[in-house]
Chains A and B, each alone.
Chain A
C-alpha cells in the first residue's frame, strides 16, 4: 500500500548511520520481519526514485496530546551513502514522507526448539532487529555483528535488551574481536549441541561466506539481500539475482523485491 508517513524522530545513532521513526497505517503493524518499504525522499525529480529500506522495528506511537489515538509506527535504520539518504538525514520530526510498503517476502521463523543465529554486517542489522524480537519469544537467539570499525556496529544494546547474547567483530579491532564476524560464527557452530538456523544480512561478501558455511554444515540459512531497484513491485527487473540453476540458456533470475529480499541461501547461486 502507499501512504503518507509523518516522521516522529530522525537520529544519528553512529557516525553516518541514522534511525528514523515514522507513523504508519494499521496494515503495517503486521509487517513480517525482513519486509521493506520504498521511501520517496521528496516530491521533486532529483532524487527521482524511491529508496528501499528494511523495517528495523514496529511499535505503537502514543501521542502526548490528550484525546489523540495511538497508532503504529515503524522504524528504519539507514546509512548515508548518496544524495537520497543524505537528504533523508536532514528531515525532522513532523516532516512527511511518501511510503510504499510493506513489500517483499520476509524471514520464515522456523522451529522454536532450535538455536537461532543472527549474523549482521554494518547496516545489514536493519531488518534483523524486528526478526530478533520475534525469535526471542520462543527460541535461544545469538547475535553476531560485524563491521569495519566500531562505528559500523549498530544498536547492539537494543538486541541485548531483548536478552540476546551478542558477539561483535571489527576488522580494525576497535570493538569486540579483531577480524571477520564469520570467524565468531564458526566457533559457535563448532560448539553447537542442537539444530540451528542462521539468519544473515550484510555486504555480499559476508553473505557469500555465511552461505558457504551453512552449506558445508547443512544448516538452514536465510539471507536478506539488497538490490538496485527502481520500483519495488517486480516490474523494473533491476534488482534480480541468479537462482541456483541459473545459466544464460536456462534463465533463473529472482526479483529481490518480490521473491525476496529474504531467500533460503541454497536457492541462490553463490561464488565458489
Chain B
C-alpha cells in the first residue's frame, strides 16, 4: 500500500495561524469579495485588503496601468473606499470567510496612521494590520515614511501603541539599504515585515513623446522583479528576528518556495491574481504537491533553508 502523508503546510505569522503560507497582496485582491467566485477562499493562508485610509480617495487620473515585458506598471494612487465604507460594506464579507483578513492601511501624517490603526484595532474581523509606508505613487501617505528610517519608526511605534493586533510593515525596495529600514521597523515594534512593494518604474510612448502613465512613474510588479525581491528578502531575513512575508513576482509554487528558502515565513501573491484570479489557491495546492513529491513533511523546515 502506498499511503501519502499530507505535509504540514501551516505557519504562524506574528501570532496569526495560517493554514498555509500563501497570502494575497494588497491592491491585487480588492476586499476579498471580488474574487469569491474564482477562488475557494478557505484554501489560502490569508488575504490582504486594498490599502485603506480615513477618507475615501479618488486615486490618480488614467491611464493608470501599462504592461511591460514580464511585468506591469501601476499608478492607481491608493483609490479606496475609506474606513467608514470599509466597515459598513466590506467587513460583513470578511466575517463570512474562515480565513484571516489583514487590513492594509496608510495615512498622510503620523496622526492619520495612528487613527487608522486605532479604528482597525476595533474590528474583530481584522486579524492583523499591514502598514503601507511604501506606496510609490502618492507623495504623502507612503514613500515619505518608507524611505527614511526615523520617519518609518515614528509611524510604527505610534501605531504599535494603539493596537495589540499583529502589526506588519510593508517595505519599499526604493531605498538605499532595505536592511536599515527593516531594523528600524523591527525596533519600533513591528511583528512582521512584508517586502517588497513595487519598484518605481516608467514607460514612454515614443510616437507621442509622452509618458504612458498619467502619473508619469508607476510601481513595477510582476515576474520581472522577482530576483530583486528574493535578494532583499534574503538580506533582511539575515538581519532581523521577526518573520518576513516575501512578495515580488510570485507566479507559481516554485517561486513561492524559493522565497521561503530565502527566509520568508509566508508569501504574498500579487500581479499573478490579475492574470488568474485563482492563482493563490493554485500556488498553495502546487506547493503542497511539491512537498509531497520531495518528501518534506513540514513546510516550516524550508524557511531560510537555502544552503550557501
A residues near B, CB below 8 A? 2, 40, 45-50, 100, 227-231, 233-241, 246-248, 251, 253, 258
Chain B nearest CB from A98 CB (Å) reads: 8
Q: Taking A45-B251, A240-B59 as contacts, is the C-beta distance between A234 and B79 under 8 angstroms? A: no
Contact of B62 among A50, A100, A227 (CB under 8 A): A227
Q: Which of B59, B65, B222 has the most CB of A within 10 A?
A: B65
Chain A binding surface SS class: loop
Q: A241 to chain B: which residues have CB within 8 Å?
A: 62
Q: Taking A45-B222, A49-B274, A235-B28 as contacts, is the C-beta distance between A240 and B79 under 8 angstroms? A: yes
Q: A235 to chain B: which residues have CB within 8 Å?
A: 28-30, 34-35, 273-274, 277
- The answer to whether A2 and B276 touch across the interface, beta carbons within 8 angstroms, is yes
Interface size on B, residues (CB 8 A): 36
Contact of B56 among A49, A100, A251 (CB under 8 A): A251
Known A48-B71, A231-B277, A233-B30; 5 more pairs at CB < 8 Å? A47-B67, A231-B275, A233-B35, A235-B274, A241-B62
Per-position contact with A for B187-228: 1 when CB-CB < 8 Å, else 0? Answer: 000000000000000000000000000000000001110000
Contact of B273 among A40, A231, A237, A253 (CB under 8 A): A231
Q: Taking A45-B223, A48-B223, A235-B30 as contacts, is the C-beta distance between A230 and B72 under 8 angstroms? A: yes
| Closest residue of A by beta carbon distance from B277 | A233
Q: Give complex CA distance A224, B76 in Å.
A: 22
Q: A234 to chain B: which residues have CB within 8 Å?
A: 30, 34
Q: A246 to chain B: which residues have CB within 8 Å?
A: 58
Q: Taking A228-B63, A240-B62 as contacts, is the C-beta distance between A46 and B69 under 8 angstroms? A: yes
Q: A48 to chain B: which residues have CB within 8 Å?
A: 67, 69-72, 222-223, 271, 275
Contact of A50 among B34, B59, B275 (CB under 8 A): B275
Asked whether any CB of chain A lies closer than 8 Å to the CB of B231, the reply is no
Q: B70 to chain A: which residues have CB within 8 Å?
A: 45-46, 48
Contact of B64 among A46, A237, A247 (CB under 8 A): A237
Contact of A228 among B66, B71, B271, B273 (CB under 8 A): B66
- The answer to whether A230 and B74 touch across the interface, beta carbons within 8 angstroms, is yes
Nearest 10 CB-CB pairings of A with B: A238-B65, A251-B58, A230-B274, A231-B274, A235-B30, A45-B223, A46-B69, A228-B65, A234-B34, A238-B64
Asked whether any CB of chain A lies closer than 8 Å to the CB of B93, the reply is no
Q: Which of A48, A100, A236, A251 has the most CB of B within 10 A?
A: A48
Q: List 18 A-B contacts (CB under 8 A).
A: A45-B70, A45-B222, A48-B67, A48-B70, A48-B223, A48-B271, A49-B67, A50-B275, A231-B275, A233-B277, A235-B28, A235-B29, A235-B273, A240-B62, A240-B64, A248-B58, A251-B57, A253-B79
- The answer to whether B65 and A251 touch across the interface, beta carbons within 8 angstroms, is no
Q: Give complex CA distance A100, B275 in Å.
A: 9
Q: Give complex CA distance A247, B276 in Å.
A: 33
- Enumerate B15-55 residues with CB–CB distance to A below 8 Å: 27-30, 34-35, 38, 50
| Total A-B Cβ pairs within 8 A | 99
Contact of A233 among B27, B38, B65, B74 (CB under 8 A): B38
Q: Taking A2-B276, A49-B67, A228-B66 as contacts, is the C-beta distance between A251 and B59 under 8 angstroms? A: yes
Chain A nearest CB from B36 CB (Å) reads: 10
Chain B nearest CB from A225 CB (Å) reads: 11
| Closest residue of A by beta carbon distance from B63 | A228
Q: Give complex CA distance A46, B222 in Å.
A: 11
Chain A nearest CB from B25 CB (Å) reads: 11
Chain B nearest CB from A231 CB (Å) reads: 4
- The answer to whether A49 and B275 touch across the interface, beta carbons within 8 angstroms, is yes
Q: Give complex CA distance A251, B77 in Å.
A: 12
Asked whether any CB of chain A lies closer than 8 Å to the CB of B278, the reply is yes
Q: Give complex CA distance A235, B28 in Å.
A: 6
Q: Give complex CA distance A237, B76 in Å.
A: 7
Q: A228 to chain B: which residues have CB within 8 Å?
A: 62-66
Q: Taking A48-B222, A230-B72, A230-B74 as contacts, is the C-beta distance between A236 and B56 under 8 angstroms? A: no
| Closest residue of A by beta carbon distance from B65 | A238
Q: B29 to chain A: which residues have CB within 8 Å?
A: 235
| Closest residue of B by beta carbon distance from A100 | B277
Chain B nearest CB from A220 CB (Å) reads: 26
Q: A236 to chain B: which residues have CB within 8 Å?
A: 27-28, 65, 74, 76, 274
Q: Give complex CA distance A92, B50 in Å.
A: 40
- The answer to whether B72 and A49 touch across the interface, beta carbons within 8 angstroms, is yes
Q: Which of A233, A246, A248, A253 has the most CB of B within 10 A?
A: A233
Q: A46 to chain B: which residues have CB within 8 Å?
A: 69-70
Contact of B65 among A2, A229, A253, A258 (CB under 8 A): A229
Q: Taking A2-B278, A230-B74, A253-B79 as contacts, is the C-beta distance between A237 and B59 under 8 angstroms? A: yes
Contact of B74 among A50, A100, A238, A258 (CB under 8 A): A238
| Closest residue of A by beta carbon distance from B223 | A45
Chain A nearest CB from B135 CB (Å) reads: 13
| Closest residue of A by beta carbon distance from B76 | A237
| Closest residue of B by beta carbon distance from A47 | B67
Q: Which of B34, B67, B223, B276 has the most CB of A within 10 A?
A: B67
| Closest residue of B by beta carbon distance from A82 | B67
